[in-house]
Structure 1
Amino acid sequence: MYIGHYAAAAVLVGAIPGAPIPAAAVGVAWPDLAWPILVMAGREQVTVDRDDPLQRAVRFDSYPVSHSLVLSNLLALVPAAIFAIVYQSWIAGLVFWLGAVSHWILDLVVHRADLPLLGPGGHDRKLGAGLWDLPKTAFVLEYLFFAARVLLIASPGMYAGLLGGGLLLHLFNANSAFGFTRRNPLGTPARFASLTLVGYVAAIAWFATAWQ
């Protein structure tokens, strides 16, 4: 899931008075900001099928630090505390942490059974509903989920920037849903991880700008 995480950011800034927009924008992205760095450092592993562009062909072999329910959200308390200090408000820290927690919950819908519960350990239970096995359906539903939250929470003056910008970012993932190319243009873990990092940095900047 990508743009769908910003449905959670919209809920947070819309529902919590005084919620700093950057705290929500970075918080919902936090696991996928940490993950590329850990992959490139060799601490977490992903397998990318060069001959299949679809997202369902990507195998997340190991990401117990960035994407476990317990450990990753405990570690997220550290950047949450930093946000609280920077903004001199516990609300900023709470918003960041809730955003990070929401990331795992939403990923649970689309991932296969590869999301760990606890963290490092060979016997950890892994979960995932596997919506990515229906790539076109997943692509459409993710944007509809995002758009519905925006229309319910944002003011009408924000609609163009949020819905249009969100759609543009979402279309960057169209090949992984519809398979326009025969091969995966991001055929290595390093390329896949790098694009993930760039994509979330762009999404953070967009959301922080559009939610004004």
Structure 2
Amino acid sequence: MFIGHFGIGFGAKAATPGISLGTLFLAAQFLDLLWPTLLLLGVETVRIAPGNGSLTPLVFEHYPFSHSLLAVLAWAAAAALLYGALRREWRGALLMALLVVSHWLLDAIVHQPDLPLYPGSATFVGLNLWASLPKTLAIELPLFGFGVWLYARSTRAQDAAGKWGFWSLVAFLLLIHAGNLFGEPPPSSDAIAWVGQAQWLLVLWGYWVDRHRRPAARG
């Protein structure tokens, strides 16, 4: 899953207007921001196998430290403790933890059974919605659209950057999603890792957009 995670980040702004969109993206997409670094270090592995019965040509062979349930719970707790310690705001800290965990739960819907429960687990989770393009789109697009709607409804642009920066971010995420679904397979696992590192630019884009928007008045 890709834009579904960003949809969760967008939508979370409605619940916590004081937290930047960049921070919400960072929490919701944290596992896939961590994973490319572990790939480059050789700690985790992925194989490229077009025609494997999934919309993605990637076979996630070994990623227990970024995507096992136990590791995700540990990362979620760490994110909550770090945010709480820095901001002294524990409602936001709880949201950070929930966003990190939400990534694993959404992945469990679309992935093949390749998500381990813990490092070394012989049990793997995945409902394999990626086996069907219509079902995948029926989950991801409404989730993304609803999140974008919540963000747009709960914030107001302060200037042109806040308006067009936001909508260009939405369009760019949809473009990446289309490329993921219909583009050519990546040439190597290193290429996957370096492209994955580029997702940090999306987090920075979220921070920039949010600086040019303000919470909408309630009433």
Question: What's 1:148 paired with?
Answer: 146
Tell me, yes or no, if structure 1 residue 106 matches structure 2 residue 110.
no
Question: What's 1:165 paired with?
Answer: 169
What are structure 1's unaligned runs of at least 5 residues? none
**Partner Cα distance (1:164, 1:137) in 2:** 26
**Partner Cα distance (1:176, 1:20) in 2:** 27
Question: What's 2:64 paired with?
Answer: 64
Q: Say which SS state the counterpart of residue 64 (structure 2) adopts.
A: coil
Q: Tell me by how many angstroms 1:4 deviates.
A: 1.3
What is the aligned length? 204
1:50 to 1:128, Cα distance in 2 relative to 1, 3 A: closer
Question: What's 1:4 paired with?
Answer: 4
User: Contact 2:110–2:136 at 8 Å: present in 1 too?
Assistant: yes
**Partner Cα distance (2:176, 2:150) in 1:** 25
Q: Tell me by how many angstroms 1:168 deviates.
A: 1.3
**Partner Cα distance (2:72, 2:143) in 1:** 25
Letter of the structure 2 residue corresponding to residue 205 of structure 1: L
List per-residue Cα deviations over 1:107-138 (Å, max 9, x = no partner): 12221111122x11142x21112122224653
Question: What's 2:48 paired with?
Answer: 48
Question: What's 2:178 paired with?
Answer: 174
Q: How does 1:1-212 map to 2 (within 5 A)?
A: 1-16=1-16, 18-49=18-49, 55-117=55-117, 119-123=118-122, 125-135=123-133, 138-139=136-137, 141-155=139-153, 157=156, 161-179=165-183, 181=184, 184=185, 186-198=186-198, 200-211=199-210, 212=213
What are structure 2's unaligned runs of at least 5 residues? 158-162, 214-219
Letter of the structure 1 residue corresponding to residue 203 of structure 2: I
Letter of the structure 2 residue corresponding to residue 172 of structure 1: I
1:160 to 1:69, Cα distance in 2 relative to 1, 3 A: farther
**Partner Cα distance (1:142, 1:160) in 2:** 23
Percent identity, please.
Answer: 28
Q: Tell me by how many angstroms 1:191 deviates.
A: 0.9
**Partner Cα distance (2:169, 2:139) in 1:** 17
Q: Tell me by how many angstroms 1:140 deviates.
A: 6.6
Q: Tell me by how many angstroms 1:104 deviates.
A: 0.7
1:191 to 1:106, Cα distance in 2 relative to 1, 3 A: same
1:17 to 1:176, Cα distance in 2 relative to 1, 3 A: closer
List per-residue Cα deviations over 1:125-165 (Å, max 9, x = no partner): 21112122224653575233211232245327467644542
**Partner Cα distance (2:106, 2:167) in 1:** 19
